Structures are given as C-alpha cells and as structure tokens.
Amino acid sequence: MHRLFMIAIVLIPCSLYETHAQDIYLGGGAAIADGYTYQGVNTGIPGFFLRGSYPFADFLEVSFSTTLFLPNKEYLAVDEGERRSLVWMLDFDLHYIFSTFGTQWSFYAMAGLDVNFLSSKYLGNETFPNDYSDNYPGFNAGIGSGYKVSQRSILFAEMKYTLGKFHQWSLDIGFLFNIEGLIKK
C-alpha cells in the first residue's frame, strides 16, 4: 500500500510536467520544524526542500515538495555510543489562493497529503536498541503567501501543520522560478 501511494505521488507531478510544462515553477529553500519525539529521538531540526508548483486555475495550484532535515546526532550515556537520525518528508498539496494584492502579493490556504520518513542508526555497544526506520502518511493544513519578485520568480513563505503519526508544525521559506523559457516544444 505504501509503495502504491509513493508511485502516485511521483507520477502525478510528472504527468503535469509533460502536459503543461510552460506553467511549472521549480525552486527550493529552507525549512524548520518543531519536530516530534519517536522512540526517544527528537527531530526538531532545520532542513532544506525542493518544490515544484503548477497553477492550473486562477485560484488553484498543486505543489509537490520533498524536505530533508539535517541529520540529528544524540549522544547517549557515557560509553553507550550515539544515535544518528535522519528525517525527510514528501508533500503533495493543493493551494487555494483566496486573496491577491495587485499583481505581486498572493495569500493561500493549503491542504494535502504527506509521507514522513524516519531512519535512526545506533553507533555504540550492543546493549542499546537496534537501528530502525519508519514511515507513515499524514495530512497537511496551513497558510502561505507569495510575492512575485519578477516575472519569472516568486518569494514565498508558508506555515503548515502535519497531522498523523509524525505530527509537527513547519515553516518553509523559499524561491520558485518559472521554467517556461527553459523547455523547448
């Protein structure tokens, strides 16, 4: 079931790319989340993301992003080693643009699907728990704003809450670039 869900998340943005490439924005930026605790591992750390966005109506757009949080290292008790954890997530969201100011500012509400991945590796003696990994789907809800810096670039910020087994608040700030002129027909 998880594999089918992941295939759908990857194929839907790819199909949009082929059919409406002139309207696609690509970019990335920085992310920070309050994180969660899972089997004693705290994950509230900064990271970075890559994003693609496709506006398919005057007030609707879809967005696909992947966020990788910087690896977290926790030192355990003396002579027990350390645990290194890596968290990343995939998001597929729908943005409803509810307000614009002129041609430069836009504000949107968002909702969508999320899959969080956690991988934790123990480095030390054998008395501590083994390595583990986990992933679960969840739902996103939040708000955001975009500022059109030029005809081809948008500066944006959004805050969202992910509800699921791995629930957390996150703040994303980044740039999107229109790739219309980069694709030849």
CB neighbourhood size of 102 (10 A):
7
Three-class secondary structure of residue 101 per DSSP: strand
Pairing of strands 37-38, 25-33: unpaired
| Amino acid 23: pLDDT | 78
Q: Which residues pair with 109 in a beta bridge?
A: 96, 143
Tokens read off for 39: 């089997």
| Amino acid 11: pLDDT | 54
DSSP-derived secondary structure letter, 182 = G
Three-class secondary structure of residue 137 per DSSP: strand
Rounded Cα gap, residues 111 and 115, in angstroms: 14
Top-confidence residue, 169 or 126: 169
- CATH number for position 64: 2.40.160.20
Task: Count up the domains in the chain and report the number.
Answer: 1
| Amino acid 146: pLDDT | 94
Residue the block writes with tokens 């430069």: 104
Average pLDDT over residues 34-52: 80
Average pLDDT over residues 72-100: 81
CB neighbourhood size of 26 (10 A):
15
Is 144 a residue whose pLDDT tops 90?
A: yes
Which domain range does residue 163 map to?
2-182
pLDDT tens per residue across span 149-175 = 988 899 999 999 999 887 889 999 999
